[in-house]
Amino acid sequence: MSGGTAAFEKRPDPLYKERRHSMDSMVRPQFFTLKNDRLELRLTNVGAAMTRLRFTAEDGRTSDLIAGLEKPEDYLHNVDFLGALVGRWANRIAPAEFIWDGETVRLAADADGIHLHGGPDTLSLALWETEAQDDTSIRFTILSPDGASGYPGNARFTVTYTLDGRRIIAELGAESDKKTPVNLTLHPYWNLEGAPVNVRGHILHLAAASYTLVDVEDLLTGRRYDCKNNTGRGFFKPRPLGDHPYDTNFVLSPSEEPYQACISSPASGLCLKISCTQPCMQLYTADGLSTVGRDGIFWPPHSAFCLEPQYMINAVNLPGETVPFAAPGKPYRERIVYELQG
């Protein structure tokens, strides 16, 4: 997901100079592998990230479907958020402050005055602990201290990945000793053709009748644009991604299907369905991607797509929008399910 346009107060922010997650000297970056007869998912404890996904189709073909880096240590510098869990707050908060129970909370701001993906203490670059693992499931956990990137509360975050047939189930959670906003997502970069080729031919159906944009004015107002008839940027009816660059938040609608997004590749015959408990989903067509990944493979712009379940961008600053949170006695819980077919 790309950055925003400069328009907010630009202030020197000491919080952006260093990451302040304490890293246990006994914890080292490493890979973990889950496997069943259809899926092989590799993860790392850096950012609780999905680093490789191999899917075996009905005809026996095996495809690598997400972009990843070569070594677990590489994820300590994962500037593209490849496969990572993103938080404490996914996407943008603009300006980088908000009123919370009557108090002003000032977050770490980037050079454009925007807070993106949890700031310098993002969970995406931190070392997580591994609590439990078997052949098809793993649970990661991390403690984010009070004041990390400016957020209130000592908060413990968890994510459990489970393979179930052709499905990857991700259960996201948080508990905090103070009321604090939480908006977690996962950020895998997909290509259903199994290679870093242009994704313009992928066909997307997204159960969303409106969308919001990430330019400055729209971040401040939360203005929604209708797309139920595939007007504007809509995918309410299936159509190819095409060449238009997307970094767009779609507001999900009630769906008659058991999923909110379905995307397929006519070239490979593979299909990905995504269901989630969050009310929005960000579509990013990786126009800022330019990285050398696993096996020395170069991933150029528009060679992958991200579909990131989330809450409304900048919800903490938009009256009337639902703001998810964790508080004493009230944990945060969300669920994302990826299902592959082909």
User: How many angstroms separate the Cα of 33 from the Cα of each of 53, 242, 299?
Assistant: 10, 34, 23
Cα–Cα distance measured from residue 303 to residue 307, given in angstroms and rounded to the nearest whole number: 14
Residue 154 sits in a domain of what CATH number? 2.70.98.10
Inside any domain, residue 5: no
Confidence of residue 337 (pLDDT cuts 50, 70, 90): very high
Inside any domain, residue 109: yes
Cα–Cα distance measured from residue 141 to residue 274, given in angstroms and rounded to the nearest whole number: 24
> Percentage of residues in the chain with pLDDT exceeding 70?
92
Active site residues: 187, 308
Cα–Cα distance measured from residue 124 to residue 244, given in angstroms and rounded to the nearest whole number: 28
pLDDT over 60 (residue 7): no
Question: What token pair was written down for 41?
Answer: 């998912």
Q: What is the pTM of this model?
A: 0.93
The answer for 152, left when phi > 0, alpha when psi is -120 to 50, beta otherwise, is beta
Cα–Cα distance measured from residue 15 to residue 20, given in angstroms and rounded to the nearest whole number: 8
Number of domains in the chain: 1
Inside any domain, residue 8: no
Inside any domain, residue 204: yes
Inside any domain, residue 21: yes
> Percentage of residues in the chain with pLDDT exceeding 90?
86
Residue-wise pLDDT for 217-228, tens only, equals 899 999 999 998
Inside any domain, residue 2: no
Cα–Cα distance measured from residue 120 to residue 105, given in angstroms and rounded to the nearest whole number: 16
- Which residues span the domain enclosing 172? 14-341
Cα–Cα distance measured from residue 55 to residue 265, given in angstroms and rounded to the nearest whole number: 14
Cα–Cα distance measured from residue 315 to residue 317, given in angstroms and rounded to the nearest whole number: 5
